[in-house]
Amino acid sequence: MRIGLDAAQQILGTQLQGTLPVDWMKRCGLRQADGRTEIAPDRDPLLRAMGGLATQETELAVGDAGRTSATIAVTTTALIEADGKLAGGIALLRDLLLPVFAKKMAKPESVGWLHGHHIEFDAPVTNAA
């Protein structure tokens, strides 16, 4: 659990230590997909996983209210010990912007400027000045 918390703090750029799990979403700037609506504790994917409930591909916005810097999909599951005891929850985050960007770049008109463009890597470098 500690390793995951350290990694989450580094990725999200915020300090979570000493913060209750119920406050993590707000502290990290995670909101519903509209980018404005805060996530109620009973709808929080990680809290649900920590309570034994799994979620699939819950779309969330990252950033300040109304200023989304990223859109992610969160899939969560409960962490169960060998004896069947609930130990916590695990969240897998997936960036949703990359597929959108890749789809746009797949259109010929998006990358038309590349047509016929060639870089001669073996050519000597010259000073343009």
pLDDT the model gives residue 127: 64
- The CA distance from 100 to 29, in Å, is 22
Cβ atoms of 17 and 1 closer than 8 Å: no
Segment 78-94 shows an average pLDDT of 88
Segment 91-112 shows an average pLDDT of 73
pLDDT the model gives residue 2: 43
Q: Which two tokens stand for residue 109?
A: 């008109």
Scan for tokens 């962490």, then name that residue.
Answer: 79
Scan for tokens 């915020």, then name that residue.
Answer: 14
Topology of domain 30-113, CATH: Beta-Lactamase (3.30.450)
Kindly tell me if the per-residue pLDDT of 129 is higher than 60: no
Q: Give the residue, 43 or 2, on which the prediction is more confident.
A: 43
5-to-9, 53, 102, 111 alpha-carbon distances in Å: 6, 20, 31, 40
pLDDT the model gives residue 1: 41
The pair phi, psi for residue 93, each rounded to 5°, is -105, 140
Kindly tell me if the per-residue pLDDT of 3 is higher than 50: no
pLDDT the model gives residue 113: 64
pTM reported for the whole predicted model: 0.60
Q: What are the pLDDT digits (tens) for 64-81? A: 666 667 788 889 999 889
Q: What are the pLDDT digits (tens) for 11-58? A: 556 666 677 777 777 777 788 888 888 888 888 898 899 899 999 988
Q: Which two tokens stand for residue 107?
A: 């259109």
Residues paired with residue 93 on neighbouring β-strands, in sequence order: 74
